Structure 1
Amino acid sequence: MSSDPWKDLASSLTRLHDVYYADHVKMVTGPDFWTADSPAAVESAQEPYAQVWGAAPTRDATMNVMLPVAAALDHLAALATLLTSPATVYAPFTVARSAIDIAVQVWYALEPGIGARERAVRHVNSRLRSLCVGGAHLFRSCGIPVPRRHGGHVPSPVLGGTSCD
């Protein structure tokens, strides 16, 4: 350990990034996304909610966090660089906060012990919220009033999720 705690933290973040990013790349680019006995593989093989909330909502819920995981790792690597830069004051705080915000979303999506059903519900509700917000932005950017009901139907949240209204 050096006499510079910021440099030590930066070094730790770099090691964390390197180890997890290497595993992440192998997982995403390898022949099998998960080991056969992993919770993700077991849930995806069973896929109890297929055709109810999509073709494979349990698998999709797990796969949907791959990009946010890579983004959080990227932010940690950037934070390591910023912590050792004498020219920055506020940037490390905003990058750290972004990494934490992303990690919280990943944790919420994959929280241990919630089970396949809740994982699928969280994923589907997240997609519905995203569609509602994205649709509203699209209408506004085109100068069109945002309809309360598109085609007579507003997507209802799945099992207690947040409504689009």
Structure 2
Amino acid sequence: MKATVVRRTPLRYAEGSDASLDRPAHVRAGSGLVRFGGQIAIIQDDALFVGLLEPASGDIAHVTLPAGEGGLRLFDEHRGNKQFKLDLEACTVVPWADGEALLAFGSGSTARRESLVLLQASGHVRMIGAQGLYAALRAETVFSGSELNVEGALY
């Protein structure tokens, strides 16, 4: 199998950066991608924003997730807050009352990362503690091995 990169395009938010939201000018990571509501949703492991890429135009909107520790939404070693990130690593789209919803999964590698983010088509965001789910995944050593680290999801 062979893949060829034919074009690279920076993923910059249409609204640019916003210091009041702790949002950078660009999408920092693409830990999970899924088609959602006609756009491509981009979840990030180190930023509490969901990027929404419009395929035809390349424009990127965003959904701001609730702030983390200290009111911040960006996490890295430079800031010294990497341990506080949700580490969203996987996403899928599931049926929901208003059509569909995006479900993003924390990696489960620490207690803080045992969370789900539910983004409804209406734009409503809900953070869900999922300790029971992650405990069940961790108990299945055929799935988790010696340490749990969720990296993909499929509905």
Q: TM-score, normalised by structure 2?
A: 0.28
Q: Which has the larger radius of gyration?
A: 1
- The structure in which a higher percent of residues are helix is 1
- The structure in which a higher percent of residues are strand is 2
Q: TM-score, normalised by structure 1?
A: 0.27
